[in-house]
Structure 1
């Protein structure tokens, strides 16, 4: 059999394995299929290349340009994902497992690309929150902004998801504007290497933006600074060793960890056999035990059920597990493949033995099980093993030992408080799920267990058809957890990018803040162009361009006509005595939406022009009532510009409405879609 050399990509070139290379085995056959690693890699050169070349090039791009780059990577991987599927069978997973890894990773890229375009500016500075007025006159303001760190992100990934594990870290990092050095687990680095080659061949990444180390990192961690980031997925022991490195501590290097997690699934006290929720619970737990042969950081390790339902849960789950065919993932009928290696098999069996000292194994005998189309002794096969812990309060190992394979333990609870206490015995997890049809059960779990879990997943007959499952971290939501789970965070939409940026408090005049954030701040310079701003194309509008309208008097007849025409005859508009009894109004007042309509009439240019559509109002506030006989006028200012495609962009206008005494009546943001010039 040919043994492949899995290369690293550093400082712009591919480097073959060398001294210190390790052998990689096929999980199904146990045969050596590849070797990876090279102790001669120059960590200093890698970091310098990332910081000087990759970082500078990425920071020169806008958030939108980086989002477009991420989308291009997703498209390139999607086009060639079959090759990734085919290669991944050697890792022991089934086709369904590969789809979780590969399609899940590609989907994560697409989500971050979309969120980058929709939720971040087409600029270089991300505004975090609103401005703060720090002085009485409004000439001294504060604003929190985020800018990319000027170092390198070192991603140390686990073996179980060689594609998704890389891409779920890579997407927010590139979006933030940091270069990446990826270090996959050696056992499955051959899949990661192919994915990196596909992305590099797409020719959209700046030089130095992505490097790959298939093997050890050498002294890389000893060379990091306060501008670098380490993101780690793996065991708690390894995480502790890495995060305790003196250089990381001395330089306050950001360190994120996703590590051991004794995730729990709770069967709600309202659920009994025969209900949709009971069947859903058994289906979810079975899937989490067998998908990726249980090698998922989010897999269910503890099954917490009402005491009265424990026997029913064991019976139903055992029936499903008995029908799960274990074997060669390429063989017809196989539903669960092998563990990643025989080394991992030995580790899982040793951990299962620890759990077995406190719990009875009620399903799955590692010494006697059938394997479909493969040699059980040569490959890294184990059966699903289900344990029952009769006294979970006295137990220790079932709450602190993670057998990273198809191993889970059923335990009973007396009441919901007891179930919550048992879930929290895990001392921090990535996810806990609750299958219940009672919203009050869900609320009680959030209040009692939220502090111990990074994600709480609730499911019932209403959401079961759309839900993505207990074990599926979604790129929109935070992935991570406290305590034993590592105390880190990944994903979470734009929150994920923030881990690779520095939040800085800036203070200064409105003009300073406008220039820094590329968003017009009230009080900063305004200009009055000769032409109506609605006649100017997207690219010709400038921040601060302002239209000040004429005044319009609001009459009692206007108010009554609007009330009768719309049907909004609320007493504050139609009943003088009732309005005077209201502490907010001096008497009858104009409708807020009448004022908004009159404002549009004051500032709109009616002729056909670059303004294509009004796409909405945001941040609307009514500040002072308008009485019959009052006058209003409007000031319309270009606040922000965001390109949307090659035909048009979004313009955000700051609208302030004042009365005859120049008192603010209303403020809001108006959004329009404006065409580019031809």
Structure 2
């Protein structure tokens, strides 16, 4: 049988396997079916192509344009995901595993597309934090900004998630405006290759934005510079080797790592047998041991339960695991498929033997189990294996050895502090979960273990129906962890995008900061529009366009009418003596919300026009009280514009209220939706 040729995509061309190619075997049959790798790849040419073609093209686009691109790419992948399913069976993954990898990856791209449109500007500069006033009169200010790096992101991915593992890195990279060179693990690179082909065939990506290495990287890492990023997922040993590449060290190349993690799950002391939490705990552990045949960086490796419940957990978990049908992943009845390769199977057995030096195997015999529809001796099949460690304090290897497969170890704890200590002996994890219905237990675990974890997952009877599971990283939240877990943080919404951007402090006048950030800063020049700004469409408004209103005097009748009409008869508005005893007021004062209402009356254009809706206000502050007899006037300035659809966009207005002495009494940001 001829082998399927898994190509690389370099500098705009597909390159077939060549010198140094290696064969890839099916996880199901153990037979070679594909070939990948070419040691003659022009890696310098790939880097140059990304830096000189892909990077400039992406940087010309704004964040919203790149977000639209991500959405379109996700749609293109979704339309052809059945092809990815069919190919991915060769990795040993079941259909439910595909849902995690392929659908999960596509969903991650959609989330980043949405966050790019909603949380990032419709421009090329991301403002990181508020303006800092660096001078007395506000003529010299500071602002942190983020802009795309001018290099290339090299993504080195693990074998277990050939689609999600690529897309969860690629989405924030492209959103940042940085081109990527993707290097999947060779054992499953054929699935990644198809996903890359789908994206390239769509015609959505600019040239140079995405390249693929199927096989080894050669000396690519030796050619990286200070504008480049390496994002790695894999073993701690490999991460250490890559981190020490001289070019990475000497050029301070950013290195984001997600690596070995001995994740733990803690059964709360309140979650006794018979409670919903106990049953949930058993279900979660079983799922994490068997999903992707335990080949998940977030899988539960250490099961921590009260000493009095250990035996009950072993019995319940063993009973549940015994129902797991192992077999050819293409069969609908299969619940756990094969490991990715026989080499990986052997590695898991070796690591399980190390764990067995300190723990007794209480479920799962790798020499005696049944596989449906496949030859267990030829394919990379293993049963779920549960170990019991009677003394977690004396053990060493169960806290530093990860068998990257369907293997987990249960151990008992005396009290919650002991459970936390056991969990922390993993020396840094991607995730620790606690299953409890006691908020004090959850808080204790967080305070005791948060410093050792990238994520802490808490579940109970309230959240169990909607929770996503211990082992499910979500694009909204950080995925990574300290110490042994690599010290990196992927995803996390916009936090993940910032890995591929440079944070820079800019300093200057309000005018300069406004011009750079595309957001009007108080003190910058104001623009007088040709008509009332509420009569002008989104596209016609200019940043800094300002309306100054007439003034209005606030009377005691106004204050009393507002109090009686709204029911807000707080003493500061109704009792002069009580108000004077308050250190903030000179006597009876106007309601803050009365001032906001009067302000709207001063600046609103009442007729039908391009303003479609008032969607809220942000950052409201009251600085000085207004008494009866004082007057107020309003300055309304266009602070920022964000296009939401082809029909309308959001206008953020900076609003200030001043009194008859030009003293500021209130300030806020008004949000409106304006027709485009």
Q: Following the alignment from structure 1 to structure 2, what is the Cα–Cα distance between the partners of residues 643 and 380?
A: 52
Shift of 1:256: 0.7
Shift of 1:332: 3.9
Give the equivalent residue in structure 2 for 1:361: 361
Give the equivalent residue in structure 2 for 1:325: 325
Shift of 1:292: 0.1
Q: Which SS does the other structure have where 2:429 is aligned?
A: coil
Report the TM-score when normalising by structure 1.
0.99
The aligned runs of 1:107-186 (5 Å cut-off) are: 107-186=107-186
Structural RMSD (CA)? 0.6
Give the equivalent residue in structure 1 for 2:276: 276
Give the equivalent residue in structure 1 for 2:265: 265
Q: Which SS does the other structure have where 1:454 is aligned?
A: strand
Q: Following the alignment from structure 1 to structure 2, what is the Cα–Cα distance between the partners of residues 546 and 27?
A: 66
Shift of 1:182: 0.1
Q: Which SS does the other structure have where 2:104 is aligned?
A: helix
The aligned runs of 1:353-432 (5 Å cut-off) are: 353-432=353-432
Q: Which SS does the other structure have where 1:618 is aligned?
A: strand
Q: Following the alignment from structure 1 to structure 2, what is the Cα–Cα distance between the partners of residues 120 and 594?
A: 33
4+ residue stretches of structure 1 with deviation over 4 A? none
Deviates more, 1:260-269 or 1:581-590: 581-590
Q: Deviations over 1:378-411 (max 9, x none)?
A: 0000110000000110001100000000000000
Report the TM-score when normalising by structure 2.
1.00
Give the equivalent residue in structure 2 for 1:346: 346
Give the equivalent residue in structure 2 for 1:515: 515
The aligned runs of 1:223-622 (5 Å cut-off) are: 223-622=223-622
Q: Following the alignment from structure 1 to structure 2, what is the Cα–Cα distance between the partners of residues 263 and 587?
A: 61
Shift of 1:283: 0.1
Q: Following the alignment from structure 2 to structure 1, what is the Cα–Cα distance between the partners of residues 429 and 571?
A: 54
Q: Following the alignment from structure 1 to structure 2, what is the Cα–Cα distance between the partners of residues 91 and 543?
A: 53
Q: Following the alignment from structure 1 to structure 2, what is the Cα–Cα distance between the partners of residues 601 and 162?
A: 58
Q: Which SS does the other structure have where 2:637 is aligned?
A: strand
Shift of 1:618: 0.5
Give the equivalent residue in structure 2 for 1:629: 629
Q: Following the alignment from structure 1 to structure 2, what is the Cα–Cα distance between the partners of residues 72 and 201?
A: 12
Shift of 1:582: 1.1
Q: Which SS does the other structure have where 2:560 is aligned?
A: helix
Count the aligned residue pairs.
676
Give the equivalent residue in structure 2 for 1:659: 659
Shift of 1:105: 0.1
Q: Following the alignment from structure 2 to structure 1, what is the Cα–Cα distance between the partners of residues 646 and 183?
A: 38
Shift of 1:583: 1.3
Q: Deviations over 1:608-666 (max 9, x none)?
A: 11111111100000111100110000000010011111111111100000000110000
Shift of 1:2: 3.4
Q: Following the alignment from structure 1 to structure 2, what is the Cα–Cα distance between the partners of residues 586 and 444?
A: 47
Q: Deviations over 1:357-392 (max 9, x none)?
A: 000000000011111111010000011000000011
Q: Deviations over 1:69-105 (max 9, x none)?
A: 0000000000000010010000001000011000000
Give the equivalent residue in structure 1 for 2:2: 2
Q: Following the alignment from structure 2 to structure 1, what is the Cα–Cα distance between the partners of residues 132 and 346?
A: 58
Shift of 1:529: 2.0
